[in-house]
Amino acid sequence: MTKPLQSLRQQLHWLRWQRWSIWMLRIASFGVAVTIVAGALVFAVDWSCDLAPSERLWLLLAASATVGWVLVDNLRRRACRLESDVELALLIEQHERLENDLVGALQFDAAPAAHYGSRQLETAVIEYVDDYAQQLDLRQQRQPARLILPMAAAAGIAAAAMALLIAYPEHGRAFVDRLALRTTAYPSRTKLAALSINKRAIDPSVPNAPTRIAFGQPARFEVHAAGEPPEAGFIELCAAGESRRTTIELVPEADRPHVWSAQIPKLVENLDFQLYLGDARSATQSLVAIPLPIVCVTLHAKPPEYAEHALAQLPETAGTRQLAVLEGSDVTVELVSTEKPLKSVQATIGGRAFAFAAADSSRLRWTLAAQHSPLAAMRESIAYEILVTDDDGLTPSEPIRGSVVVRVDRPPRVTAAIVTQYVLPTGRPTVTYGAIDDFGIGSIRVHCLVQHSDGTSSDSKLDLPRPAPAQQEVRGRQAIDFSSMNLAKGDQVKLTVEAADYRGRRPAKRASSDPLIFHVTDERGVLAAMAETDQRTARQMDDIIERQLGIGAVESP
C-alpha cells in the first residue's frame, strides 16, 4: 500500500529541483552578461585614459569586486535556499486555480497535525488530494520564458562581444595583454615603427631596460612613423620619482620622410618618458644619467739616493698634475677613482702608450710604476696624457694632462784666492779655497800647470782633504810646495781648484775655480812686488780718507 500523498511529494521534489536549476542557469546567464559588460567598461576606460599598470590593477579589482558582489548576492538569495513543499503547493494552487486543498492536505499529513481537528475531515482532504495528485503531471509543465529570455540576453551580449573581437582582433589581444598588466599599446592609425636614442634602437611598444647616457651629454630621439601620417608629436618627460612633467616637441625631418626627432641638450638627471605621435603612444621608457668617472692623480717622486736627505721634506703632490723633480728621480703615478671602478687606465708619454696596473680588486686605485715607463731615472722634462675608461665606456669630462719638469742637479761652485802672485822658486804660498753644492761635495783637488821660461810646461795634481759624506759646503787653506816643481825665475804657475759633487753611484759633475797665476821671481822681485802693493794700498787709503773728509771737492759757483 502506497503512502498517502507520496505521488504529490515526488512531483513537488521534482518541481523544486527544476526551479533551482532554472535559477542557476538564470544566474549564470546574468553573470556572463555582467562580466562582459564590466569588461567592456574596463576596456572603454583603459582605452580612453591609457591607464598605467597600477591603475589598471585597481580598476580590475574594482570591477571584479562589483561583479562578484552581484553574483554572490543572487546566489545567496536564490541558490542557497530550496523552496519547501508548502511554498511549492501554493505556487501550484495559484497556477491551477485550485482552492487550498493541496496546502491543507500537506499540513494535515504533517506529524504535529494528527492531534488537532476532526480526524474524518483530515482523512477526507488527504484522500481527495491524493486522488487529484494521481491525475496531476507537473513534469509536463515547462517554463521556457523564465529561462530563454535571460539566456538569449546573455547570448546576445556574448555574440556582440565576439563580433567586436573578430572585427578588431588586435584590440582584443592588446586588451588581454593589458589585463595581464603588460604594457602593450592599443593599435593606432599611426604606427611607431622604430625608436632610437643616440642611435641605439629600442622597442617603443614595451618597456626596455633603462637607456644609459653619460651625465651632461645630449639625448637625441629619432622616431620612424608608419601608417597614417601624424600631424604633430611630442615627448612627455618626468623626473624619476617626481610628478612634475614637461614636454619637448617632435619635429619632422625635412630630408627624411616619416622621421621625427627631438633632443635633450644635456641629461643631468634620471628621466621617465613617453612618446606621443599622432594617435600612437609608446610604453613608458627610462633614461639614466650615468656619472662620469672622477679621478685624482698623484705624482710620487723618489729622488736619487744621494739627495734623499735633502729632499725628504718635499710637500705631497696629491691632485697636482705638474711636478718638478731632481734629475735622476723616479716618478710613480697613482690614479684614484672617487666613485666608479675603472676598466682601463693608459698613459701616453712621448707618443708611446703605457698601461697602468690595478692596485686591488676594487679597481679604484691604479698605478704606473717608474720602472715600466720613461719616468725612471728622469733626465729630461716630459709631458703626459692619461686616458681613463670606466665599466660604462665613459671617460672624464676633461682630458687628464700634465708634465714632469726635471730640475738639473747643477755642478758645484768653487772659488779660490791667494795673497800674492809673486813667489820664490822654493816658496809655499797658501791658497784659500771654498766649494759648495746643493747635495754634497764628493772630492776637491788642485791642478798646477807650470809654464817654464824656455817654453816647456808640466802639470801636477794635489788632492785636498776629502770632505765628509753629504757635506754641502767645504772651506779650507792649503799651502802649495813649489820646491818639488824645479822652478826658476821667470816661470809661471797656473793653479786651479777643482771640486766634484757627490752623486752616489752616478757619475759626478765637476767645476773649477778661476785660475790663480803665480809669477816665480827672486827675493828682489818679491820685495819690489811688496813695495808696489804697499804703495797701491797707501793710495787706496788716501782716496778713502779724502772721500770721507770731502777734500778736493769742487765748490759750485
- The whole-model pTM stands at 0.57
| Mean pLDDT calculated for residue range 451-461 | 86
Instruction: With CA atoms as reference, report the closest residue to 322 among 330, 333, 312, 314.
Output: 333
**% residues pLDDT > 90 (the chain):** 15
Cell 535571460 maps to which residue?
150
Q: How far apart are CA 227 and CA 354, in angstroms?
A: 55
DSSP H/E element including 111: none
Q: What is the pLDDT of residue 553?
A: 46
Does 240 have pLDDT greater than 70?
yes
* CB contact at 8 A, 492 and 520: yes
Is the model more confident about 105 or about 185?
Answer: 185
Rg over CA atoms, the chain: 58
User: Over the stretch 23-70, which tens digit does the pLDDT of each residue have?
Assistant: 777 778 888 888 888 888 988 888 888 787 888 889 889 988 888 888
Does 485 have pLDDT greater than 60?
yes
How far, in Å, are 208, 262, 277 from residue 233 at the CA level?
Answer: 21, 10, 4
- Kindly report which listed range (67-81, 283-297, 428-442, 527-541) carries the lowest average pLDDT score: 527-541
Q: What is the pLDDT of residue 554?
A: 44
Q: How far apart are CA 333 and CA 348, in angstroms?
A: 12
Is the model more confident about 196 or about 19?
Answer: 196
User: Over the stretch 337-394, which tens digit does the pLDDT of each residue have?
Assistant: 888 899 999 999 988 899 999 988 889 999 988 887 888 888 889 999 999 999 888 8
User: Over the stretch 56-110, which tens digit does the pLDDT of each residue have?
Assistant: 889 889 988 888 888 787 777 665 555 665 665 666 655 555 555 555 555 555 6
Strand partners, 252: 260
| Per-chain mean pLDDT for the chain | 80
Strand partners, 297: 335
User: Over the stretch 263-305, which tens digit does the pLDDT of each residue have?
Assistant: 999 998 899 999 999 888 888 899 999 888 888 998 888 888 8
Q: What is the pLDDT of residue 156?
A: 85
Going by their DSSP bridges, the two strands 245-249 and 233-239 should be labelled as antiparallel
Q: How far apart are CA 267 and CA 158, in angstroms?
A: 51
Q: What is the pLDDT of residue 318?
A: 59
Q: How far apart are CA 293 and CA 298, in angstroms?
A: 16
* CB contact at 8 A, 295 and 396: yes
